[in-house]
Amino acid sequence: MKELRIQTEHHQYPVYIGSKLRFDVGSMLNKQYDRVLIITDKNVEPLYLQEVLQSFPSSSQVSSFTVPASESSKHIDVFYQCHTYAMENGLNRQSLIVALGGGVIGDLAGFVAATYMRGIDYIQVPTTLLAHDSSVGGKVAINHHIGKNMIGCFHQPQAVIYDTDTLSTLSNQEWRSGMAEVVKHAFLADEVLLERCFTLPAFPSMERDVLEYLLMRGIEIKANIVAQDEREAGIRRYLNLGHTLGHALEAEAKYVLSHGEAVAIGIDFALFLSQQHHPSLTFPIERYRKWLQQHQYPTSILHDYEITNLVERMKSDKKNDQHDIRMVTLNEVGDPTTVAYKVNEIKEQLLVYKKEVSRV
């Protein structure tokens, strides 16, 4: 088992990464909780719920609530149902919520914990590769019909407990989704990690020690940035690399496209913009595009949507100041920056980019 400590402004918590940890969730916590509510989804429930449930000592009264396994669970009605269930099961301010699942469950259960009786403890037990990103940093939220993650807050977990075995049941699309965020962290901070990503075989067949390495480094890079800027006032914005276009694509594709697949395309566009600013530098764009093809990222999907609609969605991104669209780009690998674009500039750049990738 590997262990990391995450330091935020007013709080510190451990991340454990290893095999079979789901059997020890309850006993790994340094507090006893009289009442525990596990929030999970319909896919994860039959696989791991019983094991996590039984990991708690018999002195804890543990209940569980299962929601649909899709982005639609980040709906305000589901959020309210979770609260109802928590109250009906007698959760109080000294109780614990466990987020057992991927990013959707982490965001939903974390926001329930953040707002239940004005905030109670919760832990993350991620079951996807993508959740290595969302389970660290304390950002929790539900969706609004106008935009993703628009209703939420910051609420740090008490611990993140990552059982690597649970990743064996992921689909190819989920592997792609998670690897996009690993690659993002590599582009932001670590050329060695990037090289390791580029030389991977088919994702599901990667060795356990490689997987643990990718998770550790991904989480470390994210945690370092979050530690310096918990509330996204400054450099935390860099974590948004690939996300401005990514979120717009994801919303246009009505969540058919996975989060990471959309971000992977967004990163490609960010690299394209970076090259406009630094034509003399060599970014590994070609290698990145080959890697996207090799692992069957749906790169051609950009052609299915109107640039105008995408730009409209990019305008409403939470990270924008006032009227410009703020994009994260790279000066080089490991050296991110942000650039503000006028709406029309982004539109033009997207048109040029679309032409360029259609030639590939």
Residues that bind a copy of itself (CB under 8 A): 10, 34, 76, 80, 83-84, 87-88, 92-94, 114-119, 139, 141, 144-147, 149-154, 231-232, 316, 318-322
Q: Is the dihedral of CA 98, 103, 104, 110 positive or negative?
A: positive
In the bound complex, what is the minimum distance in angstroms from residue 178's beta carbon to a copy of itself?
23
d(CA 4, CA 220): 8
Identify the three-state secondary structure at position 333: coil
Distances (CA, A) of 17 to 41, 129, 159, 214: 22, 12, 11, 11
101 a known binding residue? no
115 a known binding residue? no
Residue closer to a copy of itself by CB (options 80, 191) is 80
d(CA 39, CA 135): 14
Residue closer to a copy of itself by CB (options 167, 226) is 226
Name residue 141's beta-bridge partners.
152
- 138: phi then psi, degrees, rounded to nearest 5: 75, 10
In the bound complex, what is the minimum distance in angstroms from residue 25's beta carbon to a copy of itself?
22
266 a known binding residue? no
Identify the three-state secondary structure at position 15: strand
221 a known binding residue? no
Catalytic residue numbers read 118, 139, 181, 222, 232, 236, 240, 243, 247, 259
One-letter amino acid identity for 92?
N
Q: What is the CA radius of gyration of the chain?
A: 20
In the bound complex, what is the minimum distance in angstroms from residue 44's beta carbon to a copy of itself?
25
- 204: phi then psi, degrees, rounded to nearest 5: -65, -20
6 a known binding residue? no
In the bound complex, what is the minimum distance in angstroms from residue 155's beta carbon to a copy of itself?
8
In the bound complex, what is the minimum distance in angstroms from residue 317's beta carbon to a copy of itself?
9
Asked whether 125 and 98 are in contact (CB, 8 A), the reply is: yes
CA-nearest of 211, 225, 230, 232 to 318 is: 232
Residue closer to a copy of itself by CB (options 182, 226) is 226
In the bound complex, what is the minimum distance in angstroms from residue 153's beta carbon to a copy of itself?
5
Residue closer to a copy of itself by CB (options 92, 172) is 92
With tokens 């694509």, the residue in question is 249
282 a known binding residue? no
d(CA 171, CA 160): 22
104 a known binding residue? yes
Residue closer to a copy of itself by CB (options 3, 88) is 88
Name residue 153's beta-bridge partners.
140
CA angle 172, 188, 127 (to 5 degrees): 35
Residue closer to a copy of itself by CB (options 18, 147) is 147
Binding-site members are 103-107, 127-128, 139, 148, 166-169, 181, 243, 259
The annotation places the binding site for NAD(+) at 103-107, 127-128, 139, 148, 166-169
Task: Give the annotated binding-site residues for Zn(2+).
Answer: 181, 243, 259
